[in-house]
Structure 1
Amino acid sequence: MMVTNAAFTLLAEGTVTTPRGFQAAGLHAGIKRKKKDVGLLVSAVPAAAAGVFTLNAVRAACVTQNEQQLQALPYLQAIIVNSGNANACTGAKGDADAKEMQQHTAAKLGLPAHAVAIASTGVIGVQMPMEALKAGIEQAAAGLSELGGDEFAEAMLTTDTFTKQVAVQLTIDGQTVTIGGAAKGSGMIHPNMATMLAFVTTDAKVEPSALQSLLSRTTDQTYNRITVDGDTSTNDMVLVMANGLAQNQSLDETHPDWFAFVEAFRYVSEKLAKDIARDGEGATKLVQVAVNGAVSELVATQIAKKVVGSSLVKTAVFGADANWGRILAAIGYAGVPFDPARVDIWLGEVQVAAQGMGLNFDEAAAKAHLLGDTVQITIDLNMGDAASTAYGCDLTYDYVRINASYRT
């Protein structure tokens, strides 16, 4: 274990099954050629649940179904996920397949259908191979394990190069509370949300309304501040299950430990979001853009997103070119008022511009920072006290290679 904050402890090998009462499985069912493509996550008891979903007007069947279900009854006990097929833009047949995916999972677990959420990711516009999927669901239900978190995280991957997992622990009401998470995402990533799936589990007892409010706020501060390529997916979602097995007093905004829980929950979400940005298709670097001195957090966020999403900035980072002019230009088309003559810019510890003009900076030091695997761009607008940070990656030749032949 490693203590990362006074409020919580980061677990070295934590997964979504680290919190009490969660089991998972992941396996290859034949939706993809070789790799795992069906994952199942189950709580031993019904759990308070919350979700956030893509803002794309074109939405996969799983998104619409889950959103309607959680609005009607904010509790879940299982999540079934497949990769390799998005079941998006598949018409009435796709809607029926989504229902069958839910119902088949529920039947194999002995649960009511409304206790099961579904998630899909992969190629758009292709009908789901239901026989393979149903067989995979049956195998997953039979293979559930408290040690199945790694396999579950692997089963949701598409073009990702590594699994994204995290778990933390903290003390609430004298009880040890654990929060775990797993996510996928590599391409088609852009605020708001991304072609990403994220699942967070906790054994804390949390009021459903407080959980939904917390997830919505945290999403705005984490998942909605990442970008890889400017495309927003049809299947994005984040789902949370809180099963209460830690036996703490129910958490909401009035609980004395609420803010400690919020801080730990945000850390989990931020870690998953940053891992998604770092694993952008073809990416070699995580790019962090911090905007300080803004008149509001909204302005700072809009500028940070615009800079981290700029293709010219991303290619300059890939080439280790300290081209600060591209950063200032991106600020200029962010659509918010600012004074260019007040802007200061740093690459790592190297200040490259002051009051909107270039400095005679150390090119070698700036280049050395840009050659690292994490690039920090800091912008000070010198207009207020608000700040925000957005996350992305560089844009490389491999991004084009991967996406030019995605279906093949």
Structure 2
Amino acid sequence: MIVYKILDWLVSEPDRNEVYKLVHMFIYNYKKYSSPLQLLQVLINYWSEPAHGNVSKAEQEMICSKKRTSVTFFLSGWFEVQYSDFKDTTLELLESFVREIPSEYSKPLVAKIQNVIKSKPAPSIYLFEASKEGKAKFEPGTFGFLDLKAIQVADQWTILDIKNFLQIDRDEYLRIQSDSNWDRMLKRAAVFSRWVASEIVQNVKTSKRVETIKRFVLIAMHFLENNNMNGLMCVWGGLNTISVLRLKKTKKRLPSQILDLWAVLEEKLSEKNNFGRLRKVTKKKMLSGEPVVPWFELVNKARNSSAEYDDYISTSTDPKIINFSKVYILGEQILNFEKYKKNLEKVDLFYESNNKTDQNIRTYLEHLPTYPDDVLWKMSSICEPD
């Protein structure tokens, strides 16, 4: 049963806060296959289970203590999210359970329950509500991903990509440095891809996951229209993380139009010949003078394959002999890089909007909420258990 997995994670997880949201997600969705009374009975049974295996008495006591703490932690999260579940027989069983357990466990739990009752005079389920109806104000903290249109995300992220790209100077191409504009461009892309996966797997409801994936596919298509290959590959990378790819049932629920667009993206972004098609299209646009943000991961790989600048000045056998073929390769890479920048300088002012809504969206995109890979996997497992 899924609840046992969550409890086991709580026992083994050094930072329980990482698992706390999983508790909330489970509570929001568990009534599809269980009842509050059945779930409470499972928790009580888990509390009473002895430690398995050939362990010493001290180890057994330690394991049991962790399990009991996990149960009270789970109950706290449950009561916080959906305390309206506790009524009639379920409430009586909870009260009986709390009276029987040692005070070291009951006191924190009772204190938590009392705080929740004081702060929520009416039953509520608030953590995973759908976006509020009506026009979003787009003030910081008042909107989430699904409140935004695909074109808004694509346009404002493209502005940020262009700005970051234009801030990179030639010296950064020649000298690898940490905490540089070059480094920030790479890190921003990694965060964006993780954000894509985070937004998808944090939704317990299949319909919300479907809507989120639809939105990201549309964002990818807008990136394609904007000639932002970097943003395009950020989305594609997020959609192809293991935590998202395993959601087979969710993907089957996608509308045929979205699946058609997915197939288009698969063809255009094929890994064949080291993303040969993408590289060819990007370079063609650049040489024609068309503004395009290249996939920065490929730019970075090209630079890294060139090694340090000093390696191009001399050969390994004689430091006085210049390796002109290497110098030519490096020179061509730098010229292409400068050409990308020159083309993008034409559109920076065109893209940017200084109205308050767009500024707030850019602020949101500069501080994207993400989860680490292990938490993404756990969330994905709850969305679609194996």
Report the TM-score range of the alignment, normalised by the length of the smaller protein.
Answer: under 0.3
Q: TM-score, normalising length from structure 1?
A: 0.26
Larger strand fraction of residues: 1
Larger helix fraction of residues: 2
**Considering only CA atoms, is the larger Rg found in Structure 1 or Structure 2?**
2
Q: TM-score, normalising length from structure 2?
A: 0.27
Q: Which has the higher contact order (CA 8 A, sep 6+)?
A: 2
